[in-house]
Amino acid sequence: MGASRNKFLFTIGIHRGGAENAERDVEGAHSPRLSQRSLRLRGEVLTSPAVLISCCPVTQNGRLVFYASLGATRERLSGSEHNVLVAAAPCFVLTSCLIDPEMRILIVKLSSIGDVVHALPAVAAIRRCRPSAKITWVVDSRASAILRDSPAIDELVEINPRQEGEKELTGRLGIIGLFRRPGNAAEPPDIAIDLQGLIKSGFVAYASGAARRVGFESSELRESVSRIFLTEQVKTSHMTHVIEKNLELVRASLNLKIDQERYEFPIAVPPEDDRYIDGEVSGDSRFAIINPGGGWPTKLWPPERFGLLADWLSSEYGFSSLVTYGPGEEELAESVASCSRSSAARPFASTLKQFVALARRAKLFIGGDTGPLHIAAASGTPIVGLYGPTSPARNGPFDGRDVTVGVDLWCRADCHRRSCWHWRCMDIPLSDAQQAIRARLDPEQK
């Protein structure tokens, strides 16, 4: 980061212990108790006149403190040549905030679709607070469609997934190559924020060349060893919902003031997709979305119950049901439709952006903890979620009017199993789903 390009906003405090104690405290930043891998330059006590060229963060008493240093060249530079601050001594830096209007921010959230959707409010907050920053998002190509043309993102970098019978295209050299191609090598991101917490996502942040690489505290990482790629970690375990955890991570990383009453999901839907959905549901304004897929076998509800539920929605609310599905789930959708005795359900194929347009028009979404549920939540669709091995408190819909239903079992806490010997948690009675739908819809029917 060139000092001539960046501007820092510093809060300067007088060190009450005098210059000698201030020097000892700065030296303490290099002790094991306060050391951070991000501390690359030697802290310097400010003497009058002193010029702040750059700063490095250390953790002290549970908060981030930024001490002055000499900058990358370790030479004292003229304040007239750089956007720097002159301060009197004895003093020290309390806080600092990079306010470069062209700050380069790398977001690493690779997959899955639901996780990517959950990260959107955090990136939207960055865009709102730093409107001129350049935001790049690295994502798995299988989840990238939902992000294309988003007004919150300047550049989308797609990593190809492992393909059967081929070498992994996202190997280390391939990832490094994403950031070492001509035009990128001279300008690494100012900061990389890892919202995933995997070894792979941590390595992407490291390979970007960003000097600051920020992620969750170790207990919140999905693969704890990924902390070796981070220079800073943010405490988020006191938050419950994953959206709040993501917001806290970007808030602390960029010193943002985030004050919002509702989450923002900047998903761009092309006009042709809106027109397509309008044509498909023309004359049928009262429809529900049934999404029987789950990604994991342990998230699946029996298709027979979905079919009977479609019949009940038709007789009780006059809803038709569109059975949506993803790749490889066509037979499951057909099975649900065939289980509807009144033919109230029909399979409905769509792209991700078309699904967003569909969800924005639907009267209800019912399904398990999977990408379509989270897209529907982002679209404002009334939701009844069927939850088994995952926690609705962490991953569920965030509208207080939405309802989640599950079977109360001793083994559900922190389960996250993709296979199970009994699968009782998804043995949700049809009557429970019907009761949840009444609880969600009846207030709106008055």
Together in a domain, 149 and 245? yes
Together in a domain, 280 and 314? yes
Together in a domain, 275 and 421? yes
Tens digits of residue pLDDT in 76-131 = 323 322 333 333 333 344 344 444 557 899 999 999 999 999 999 999 999 999 89
Together in a domain, 330 and 440? yes
In a domain, 363, yes or no: yes
Together in a domain, 148 and 207? yes
Give the pLDDT of residue 330.
94
Together in a domain, 87 and 145? no
In a domain, 294, yes or no: yes
Give the pLDDT of residue 419.
58
In a domain, 50, yes or no: yes
Q: Quick check: 398 and 376 in contact, CB under 8 A? A: no
Q: Which carries the bigger pLDDT value, residue 23 or residue 198?
A: 198
**172 contact partners, CB below 8 Å, separation of at least 6:** 203, 207
In a domain, 263, yes or no: no
Tens digits of residue pLDDT in 296-331 = 677 789 999 999 999 999 999 999 999 999 998 999
Give the pLDDT of residue 103.
87
Report the predicted TM-score, pTM, of the whole model to 2 decimal places: 0.76
Tens digits of residue pLDDT in 390-405 = 888 888 999 999 999 9
- Scanning 281-400, the segments in alpha helix (DSSP H) are 303-317, 330-338, 352-361, 371-379, 392-395
In a domain, 260, yes or no: no
Beta bridge partners, 234, equal 216
**Cα–Cα distance for residue pair 404/437, rounded to 1 Å:** 10
Tens digits of residue pLDDT in 156-191 = 999 886 543 344 444 444 555 566 554 444 578 989
Give the pLDDT band of residue 420 (cuts 50, 70, 90). low
Give the pLDDT band of residue 445 (cuts 50, 70, 90). very low
Number of domains in the chain: 3
Together in a domain, 329 and 235? no
pLDDT above 70 covers a percentage of the chain that reads 66
In a domain, 1, yes or no: no
The number of residues in the chain equals 446
In a domain, 262, yes or no: no
What is the bridge-based pairing of β-strands 287-291 and 364-368? parallel
Out of 66, 98, 130, a domain closes at: 98
Mean of all residue pLDDT scores within the chain = 76
Out of 69, 98, 127, a domain closes at: 98
Out of 35, 66, 98, a domain closes at: 98
**Cα–Cα distance for residue pair 63/57, rounded to 1 Å:** 10
- Structural domain including 179 reads 104-254
Q: Which carries the bigger pLDDT value, residue 249 or residue 66?
A: 249
| Pair of tokens at residue 362 | 């639907």
Q: Quick check: 354 and 273 in contact, CB under 8 A? A: yes
**392 contact partners, CB below 8 Å, separation of at least 6:** 369, 385, 404, 406
For residue 57, pLDDT over 80 is answered with no
Together in a domain, 426 and 364? yes
Together in a domain, 324 and 418? yes
**Cα–Cα distance for residue pair 17/28, rounded to 1 Å:** 15
Tens digits of residue pLDDT in 211-265 = 889 999 999 998 999 999 999 999 999 999 999 999 999 999 988 888 777 899 9
Give the pLDDT of residue 382.
97
- What is the rounded average pLDDT of the residues 327-339? 95
CATH number at residue 307: 3.40.50.2000
- Rounded to the nearest angstrom, the gap between the alpha carbon of residue 363 and the centroid of all alpha carbons in its chain is 27
Together in a domain, 92 and 108? no
